[in-house]
Structure 1
Amino acid sequence: MTVYFIGAGPGAADLVTVRAQQIIATSPVCLYAGSLVPQELLAQCPDGARVVDTARLNLDEIVALMLDADAAGHDVARLHSGDPSIFSAVAEQARRLDAAGVAYTIVPGVPAFAAAAASLGRELTVPGVSQTIVLTRVSTLSTAMPEGEDLRSLGSSGATMVVHLGAHRIDQIVEELTENYGPTCPCAVVAFASRSDEIVLRGTLSTIASQVKSAGVTKTAVVVVGKVLAAEGFPDSYLYSALRERTTH
């Protein structure tokens, strides 16, 4: 059998890959990450499938379900919100499966930051404005950030910054990023991106915190900071430019 770590996307049930849909529709066991995975996606599980919400289970209990499925010869669709490559807790599960000799594979999904950019109608890498995106989070009591990965240090480049899992600490984010980006730097917060209850807030580092608090946004949101959010008058990319046509013929 195989455990499939599947990126279930940012929230909309149709923002998943064809591969993910096929695996979900044929796996006898489905483990999903609570309310972050849409019910419409779970409805694609086959009749008689064992479907388990793992939101209240610890790591040992989750892995035990996978090992039980392995012993029964059943594939497992393990659904995580967004994409498994960032902030998914896949690494520790995969480590346990390696130790147990259980096969697994990863199926990518649409990450939250990409869905947020789509909702904002913005490209996060604009020619002459920013060609780098920093994907990060803020330190919490349960999980500290490694040395050198605080927002002040990461913001020294002025690159487009996307902060996950931090809406409840918007004051801290604003304080630590204002030093490098300035109070008038464009900023946006997108909560529940792609879902029917999506919330999109736009402002600057000096105004965004009050908007977040007024809207009651505390979780399932990304904070985007950078000049790309208001970029105008930038040069066309070389990929589609008339100059490229002249120099390649």
Structure 2
Amino acid sequence: MIYFIGAGPGAEDLITVRGARLLEEADVIIYAGSLVNPALLKRAKPECEIYDSAGMTLEQVISVMNSSRDRCVVRLHTGDPCIYGAIREQMDRLEELGIEYSYVPGVSSFIGAASALNAEYTLPDVSQTVILTRMAGRTPVPEKEEISSLAQHGATMVVFLTSTMLEELSRRLIEGGYAPDSPAAIVYKATWPDQKVIRTTVENIPRAAEENGIHKMALILVGGFLGDRYERSRLYDPGFSHQFREAEK
């Protein structure tokens, strides 16, 4: 069995209980070495074979999986692999080879970033939508998902894989409708020991990153959820009735 496991955002104790157990049982681990905290590998058995996929192609990864099909194989991805994890192409190849696999979810880095900020993405009367996206770079994005088009919604935005294009990101966010002084944040290596959190504004994202030496492994967060104004949730309002509670009179 091949297990695709989300390693979590960085801190070694933010992997799920199931993921940790499978790491301990694995005969083979293929991990994304450029992003996954190597401290997680301390859970591996002494005799476990460990491969760093940072320097491997898809074909090489599949070859290791195929040659290990009778053993317990863990494919360890950062965060939760359903977001920019390139797992679909691996799963499709395993299907073609008749190899069983299972997917164990993890804590995504965008959730780790919220915890670093002590923030709630979905505040009443501010935003009820979270957009997870990235800028087009060497890998394109569909034209209809261009940053300035998404910014027109004024929703909470979490921008992945864009730390080297912050001047362009700032410009496009403003073009899309965010005011230059809209609140923004940069979260570098969320939940890692060397985590950095910088609060700034949309127009100052590039300068804030440069001043703090951030050029990779950062999420950019934008929206009113980073401000101070929001409406109280009706769920806990004493004057609001629902299935489990009558409104107070």
| TM-score, length of structure 1 as denominator length | 0.95
Match of 1:76 among 73, 76, 94: 73
Alpha carbons of structure 1 residues 61 and 127: separation in structure 2 relative to 1, 3 Å: same
Alignment coverage as a number of residue pairs: 244
1:96 matched to 2:90? The reply is no
Which AA in structure 2 matches 1:123?
Answer: E
Matched residue, 1:168? 164
Matched residue, 1:4? 3
Matched residue, 1:61? 60
SS in 2 for 1:242: coil
Match of 1:113 among 104, 110, 114: 110
Alpha carbons of structure 1 residues 246 and 38: separation in structure 2 relative to 1, 3 Å: closer
CA distance in 2, matches of 1:246, 1:199: 41
Query: Is the 8 Å Cα contact of residues 20 and 43 (structure 2) preserved in structure 1?
Result: yes
TM-aligned CA deviation for residue 35 of structure 1: 3.6
Q: CA RMSD in A?
A: 1.3
Residue by residue over 1:63-105, the C-alpha shift from the partner in whole angstroms, topping out at 9 and shown as x without a partner, is 00000110xx101111000101100111111111111111111
Residue by residue over 1:156-195, the C-alpha shift from the partner in whole angstroms, topping out at 9 and shown as x without a partner, is 1110111001011111110000121110100001011101
CA distance in 2, matches of 1:35, 1:172: 25
CA distance in 1, matches of 2:58, 2:82: 18
CA distance in 1, matches of 2:80, 2:239: 37
Alignment of 1:1-249 (within 5 A): 2-70=1-69, 73-141=70-138, 143-179=139-175, 180-232=177-229, 234-245=230-241, 248-249=245-246
| TM-score, length of structure 2 as denominator length | 0.95
Query: Is the 8 Å Cα contact of residues 171 and 203 (structure 2) preserved in structure 1?
Result: no
Which AA in structure 2 matches 1:164?
Answer: F
- Segments of structure 1 that go 5 or more residues without pairing to the other structure are none
CA distance in 2, matches of 1:177, 1:246: 38
CA distance in 2, matches of 1:129, 1:25: 43
Query: Is the 8 Å Cα contact of residues 3 and 66 (structure 1) preserved in structure 2?
Result: yes
